[in-house]
Structure 1
């Protein structure tokens, strides 16, 4: 498997591991308020979904102005805080990423994006996909820290566990 695609596949795998783990815990754990980077596990996951959404739209060539407007409406489309529904949204967006990755002929191809705050960036599809995966890894660490704060063990989502699972 192409290493670029593999790192993104890892991202989707790790998100799935987190959801499976959280669904094994008492349901109120996901919504319990904590003093952390985010006010709850659910809010952390929702932030991750929003960012995955932003970068998928960016990779599809949409402008940040349109994307940000739509991101602000995501909260309305997922009005109730429902872990199963958010899990479904993660699966859907993961499938959209997989479809996009298959359609891109050259992941190293340079693209330019215009960010309203940071300006113009010329980068590759690959680098943006790596950014999305890295962002997810960072916040899965937040999830583990919040779980420990609440008295629960976090799931094992290190890249090496993904590699071991791929060997099965």
Structure 2
């Protein structure tokens, strides 16, 4: 990986390598990078994974095995803009499998506790529409959903 730009660091408790491999398997344009290991001078078990660099959907990450001190919460989430229902279904299924859980309005947590928003790619446009009635109808429909339903959102926006 190059050093330009920045990396998002995700703190795990012994699951950095597993998480990196999982995210690389879920997203296109993804790859695993360098792995660093704890040394005798570090607080982790010598030889165990300290960090794993990876790219997921073109974004650079570092998965860090930092320990149990910190947990993920919804204050930070990743948005995945999806073109259609099939794409929403794909990401929702992959990210909630093996212990992940769905939440309201397209939000979910994966099995590592990372929060994701699986979003219909028209939502930013819809939410900025100058017609407040269209926005309100669509927002009302979305607020009643877990996994987003593209057809229902389009119908609400159209007033059907």
Q: What's the TM-score once normalised by structure 1's chain length?
A: 0.26
| Structure showing greater relative contact order (alpha-carbon pairs closer than 8 Å, 6 or more residues apart) | 1
Q: Which has the higher strand share?
A: 2
Structure with a larger share of its residues in helix: 1
Greater Rg over alpha carbons, structure: 2
* Superposition TM-score, scaled by structure 2 size: 0.26
